[in-house]
Chains A and B, each alone.
Chain A
Amino acid sequence: MFEMALSALEIVFDPSRLMFVALGVIIGLSLGVIPGLSGIVGLSLLLPFTFNMDPFTALAFLVGLQAVVATSDTIPAILFGVPGTVGSASTILDGHPMAKQGLAARAFGAAFSASLLGGLCGALFLALSIPILRPFILSFGSPELLVFCIFGLSLIGVLSGGNPLKGLAAAAVGLMIATVGEEPNTAIERWTFGSLYLLEGIPLVPLALGLFAIPEIAEMVIARKPMQKEHGVATAWEQLDGVKDTISNFSLVLRGSAIGSVLGAVPGIGAPVIPWIAYGHAMRTEKGASETFGKGDVRGVIASESSSNAKEGGALVSTIAFGVPATASMALLLGAFLIHGLSPGPDMLTTRLDVTYTLVWTVALANVLGCGICFIFARQLASIARIRAGILAPVVLSIMFIGAFQATRQWGDIVALLGFGLLGWAMKRVNWPRPPLLLGLVLGGLLERYMFISFQRYGADWLSRPIVIGVLLITAYSIFKPMATSLIKRRRETNTRYFLALKPRRLDSTLWFNLGVIAFFLIAIVGSWQWDFGAKLVPQVVGWVGLFLVSWQLTATLFIKTESINSVAISKNSKSTASHSDTPSELDHLSNSEITRRTVRYFSWCLFTLATALFIGLLPAILIFLIGYLRIESKESWKTTLTVGVGSWSVSYLLFHQLLRVPWPASFIGDLLPGFRAIGALNLL
């Protein structure tokens, strides 16, 4: 085994191959930075060019590309709160607050070094465990994956901090949204309204971008302050502080890396969830984490990033060893393998181990190169956070529009982006944690699928399988232990005397939001009532539980508890933990009506762009949006407007239209004047 590993190392360090790995790395980094684009874009574009290369070079090139996307997707996550790919969403929770506090360079330093170490440890771990990998992975059947989803859901408790009710309700919303689409067992279409778009369910990228990114940009716009609230130029060595943070938390890096590579190697676990698992684990085990995570604790960034990179290595190995790709990018990589004559399977772990080791080394090398490049530019990147909101917002928004569109390349993507943007903003305003919704969405689809397969195949026997029992016990422990500890603590600290007094509440936004969610669940329950059992089970269960949770939550806000003096200490504590897993708000200096006015303006601009796009095409509409916003809303001079607007638009045009040849959706004018579509450069309608 070692000889093969060493000879593979020689193969990788061949100069011409190294060149291709480097090229792949640069392309991969560029793709990860742009929200909505992931490795698959680059892979599918470059795959034909690899036909004439020898397999080792071709695969080193493609794997190098894929391996670093998880590194650069951190950049928009930290700077703007925009996930570069869905996997970086958990980095936002602590990385973005750090940027707002002027610590972006440090966050980058920590993130990139954690990525590097995480990726390397992951690669090493996998290289060592290859002998036992097959039996390990084969023992994960649908029942095991099911209980893993349940375990993932248990993280919601941790991620909602002091608002478990809100967190669970948000997760229930996510689970419900996951049911949209065609139900595989009954072929019943759930809430697709006859549209082809919703048939496959609501795609993750526009949802994540809308839920997390749009509210962050909204806040920046409404506050009219740059992202970085406190002024201060990052010193040259600030990113090194981040590296020191990583090194002093090395055991966390190791754990994150282990979680990432082990779970990443199991096909079907749901790759976006893995960084959340590491984050949740860190939250539970690190000292004082429950107070500081979500407010700019660098350990949150470290846990997220180390696991995120490690999982790429894990996913690669399971793609090679089993031919089961965890993501679309991996599927394309798999195709590349097949085209170059390598069949995934046990051979890759025995007779063709040389190829596997080559790839593991490539991943390690790509990580070093990728993280190195990002690290060198960390300070320059960090200074982006200081650009004024009036310029940054429209540019980032325009990229998000196009990026969201890459999900399924239909108008629905933009609608989903804005719809979830609105929801995300509302949740932010009323202090509902958003990560549980994302988790509910990712896990919901998997959960239902595995549940039905498990029952169909094993009846109820699957509950007695050893791994299933083990994971369920761990889940139960992780849910009940914190509850028990806090209950015991409360008992000790108070003479429990709670007075319930109903105070009349204004019809404020919190109330409306709760009522809205209640209406959502009611509609879901009624809507699914008529369906066959297979299709209605999950919507009904989730609907009733969600309804219960929100109603309880609503009641809790209507009644104000007046407590005895001894428990004042407790209420102080609970305030500080209020929704700490979500980013704190910066708008306290504005009145509610001012906030509402500016919010309406912001979303009106977004809607205007969508409407214009439907009329004349997405890319042209974005040009109009950029120029209009910069001039009218941000009141920039014509010189700035045209430079920034036309400049950034041209980059988008070159990248998306000329290079990536995105098939733009049909617009009204385009249908009216089909001649434009015949001209390559103008086929934007």
Chain B
Amino acid sequence: MSAKKHYLLLWAFLASGISFAQTTGDFYAGRKVTILVGSGAGGTTDISARVLAEHLQRHIPGNPTIIVQNLPGGGSVTMTNYLYRSAPKDGSVLGYSLPGIITAQMMEPKRAKFDGRQLNWIGSALKYTGVVSVMSTAPATTIEEAKDTELFIGTTGRGSPAHQFPMMAKALLNLKFNIVAGYESSNDVFFAMERGEVHGQSSSLQAWAITRPGWLADGRITHLLYMGPPDPLAKRGIPYLRQLVSSERQKALVDFIEIGSQMGWPLFAPPDVPANRVESLRKAFDSLMSDPEFIRAMNLIVKAELQPTIGSDLALFVEKSLETPDTILSEAKSILGLNER
């Protein structure tokens, strides 16, 4: 073949995106990997992503540099949509989302233009323990009291998990929550609690530990109830939502909103990434979970214990979750007031 044809062939290869047979180490050596975080800067999601990125670099063959970028919006839906459609599909761009991303796929089908079954799940380091917590000076500090006395619970917006958990708890347990929605972010709700404007809010245990560790220690706040994996709150005698409901239907609803809790903050790659690369990433993630420096950093900075889920288990969990029956789905939507979507 003439030189010109060689040249054309090369461009044809490039254009069609066929990757040359190369090992993962070859691919990642000297490369920059981007982790897109589906939230704004500075919160639990963002901080845990940055700690993860810092330490994961050592475990991926080829030791690429990992940088973190924020792509907030729609509860990580914006980021996941972008990753699904526009990001390079070679494993150089990964996504790190909020816990509720699969729930969002089911409840907002018009807006969530991705399919969790197609995403390549790499793993999750944490689980999300959602707690509804009130100031200890609030008029009601136990579930029983909250059935009779009104409590002002601050939330951001109807679409957020911080809103959905108290709404669901209110509906299932007949609690007298007066939900004050509209705060800009959960930081603003913390502040509103300090000012006495609201009595409490729903957040994650990790968020409390990171932003207001003093409050946990000195008893300024009391946890009313929690959802998600039982440790470490079960020992402290804090009520667990799933145990407080009795009927099958109610338990199914709780399971539904706990999907995010079980997934924690997942790391994933877009569809069509070569299988050997996904495998290497999963292996790297697994070995990261036993890395003592990483564990220490997570304890120190994110104030969290690791509760890892490996990539293949995550994928199976996603498959199962996406099979939630429509009856449960529509009932959840109506309790949460999300019928317009």
Contact = CB atoms under 8 A, between A and B. Distances in A.
B279 interface: no
Interface centre among A182, A184, A673 (most CB of B within 10 A): A184
A187 B41 contact: no
Given A184-B158, A457-B180, A678-B90, A323 B190 contact: yes
A324 B191 contact: yes
Interface in A443-467: 449, 452-453, 456-457
B198 interface: yes
Report the interface size class on chain A.
35 or more
Interface residues of B, number: 75
Given A138-B194, A456-B180, A676 B14 contact: yes
B40 A673 contact: no
A40 B301 contact: no
A142 B41 contact: no
Contacts of B46: 332, 335
Interface in B152-193: 152, 156-159, 178, 180-185, 187-188, 190-192
A674 B183 contact: no
B17 interface: yes
Given A322-B194, A663-B69, A339 B47 contact: yes
Nearest to A187: B158
A675 B210 contact: no
Interface in B109-125: 110-111
Contact of A48 (B54, B70, B90, B180): B54
Interface centre among A40, A196, A344, A410 (most CB of B within 10 A): A196
Contact of B184 (A139, A268, A343): A268
A47 B338 contact: no
B247 interface: no
A15 interface: no
B159 A182 contact: yes
Interface string A642-685: 00000000000000000001010110001001111111100100
A40 B41 contact: yes
Given A343-B212, A675-B13, A182 B47 contact: no
A456 B198 CA distance: 11
B341 to A, nearest CB: 8
A196 B13 CA distance: 34
Interface centre among A185, A187, A200, A267 (most CB of B within 10 A): A187
B326 to A, nearest CB: 20
Nearest to B75: A199
B239 interface: no
A339 B185 CA distance: 20
A670 B82 CA distance: 14
A189 B74 CA distance: 12
B195 interface: yes
Nearest to B93: A663
A415 B51 CA distance: 36
A663 B82 contact: yes
Interface string B191-223: 110111110000000000011111000000000
A187 B67 contact: no
Contacts, number: 185
B242 interface: no
Interface in B30-86: 31-32, 34, 36, 40-43, 46-47, 50-51, 53-54, 67-71, 73-74, 77-78, 81-82, 85-86
A637 interface: no
A505 to B, nearest CB: 44
B16 interface: yes
A341 interface: yes
B197 A457 contact: yes
A184 B340 contact: no
Contacts of B51: 339
Given A196-B74, A676-B14, A343 B214 contact: yes
A675 B19 CA distance: 9
B42 A194 contact: no
B300 interface: yes
A347 B46 CA distance: 24
A341 B210 CA distance: 9
Interface string A255-299: 000000000000110000000000000000000000000000000
Nearest to B83: A663
A479 interface: no
B42 A196 contact: no
Contact of A332 (B41, B85, B110, B211): B41
A194 B17 contact: no
A530 to B, nearest CB: 11
Nearest to B303: A338
A334 B42 contact: yes
B200 to A, nearest CB: 13
A325 interface: yes
A345 B71 contact: no
Contact of B157 (A138, A182, A675): A182
Contacts of A663: 34, 36, 69, 71, 82, 86-87, 93
Interface string B207-250: 00011111000000000000000000000000000000000000
Contact of B15 (A268, A338, A409, A676): A676
Contacts of A514: none
Contact of B71 (A43, A328, A409, A673): A409
Contacts of B92: 680
B25 interface: no
B337 interface: yes
Nearest to A662: B69
B42 A268 contact: no
Interface centre among A182, A188, A453 (most CB of B within 10 A): A453
A104 B300 CA distance: 51
Contacts of A666: 85-86
A185 B158 contact: yes
B50 A48 contact: yes
Contacts of A665: 86
A457 B300 contact: no
Interface in A320-334: 322-325, 328, 331-334
A172 to B, nearest CB: 22
Contacts of A47: 50
A408 interface: yes
Contacts of A324: 187-188, 190-191
A670 B68 CA distance: 23
Given A199-B74, A335-B41, A674-B17, A680 B110 contact: no
B15 A51 contact: no
Contacts of B74: 196, 199-200
A44 interface: yes
Contacts of A182: 157-159
Interface centre among B77, B190, B338 (most CB of A within 10 A): B190
A186 interface: yes
A187 B32 contact: no
Nearest to B180: A456
Nearest to B87: A663
A338 B81 contact: no
A189 B69 CA distance: 27
10 contacts: A142-B192, A184-B156, A185-B181, A187-B337, A323-B190, A332-B46, A339-B51, A343-B213, A457-B197, A661-B34
Interface of B: 13-19, 31-32, 34, 36, 40-43, 46-47, 50-51, 53-54, 67-71, 73-74, 77-78, 81-82, 85-90, 92-93, 110-111, 152, 156-159, 178, 180-185, 187-188, 190-192, 194-198, 210-214, 300-301, 337-338, 340-341
Interface of A: 40, 43-45, 47-48, 51, 138-142, 182, 184-189, 194, 196, 199-200, 267-268, 322-325, 328, 331-335, 338-339, 341, 343-345, 347, 408-410, 449, 452-453, 456-457, 661, 663, 665-666, 670, 673-680, 683
Given A331-B41, A675-B15, A683-B88, 9 more contacts: A45-B67, A185-B181, A322-B191, A335-B43, A335-B46, A343-B213, A409-B71, A666-B86, A673-B16
Which 8 pairs between the two chains have the least Cβ-Cβ distance? Answer: A335-B42, A187-B158, A331-B42, A666-B86, A332-B41, A184-B157, A675-B17, A677-B88
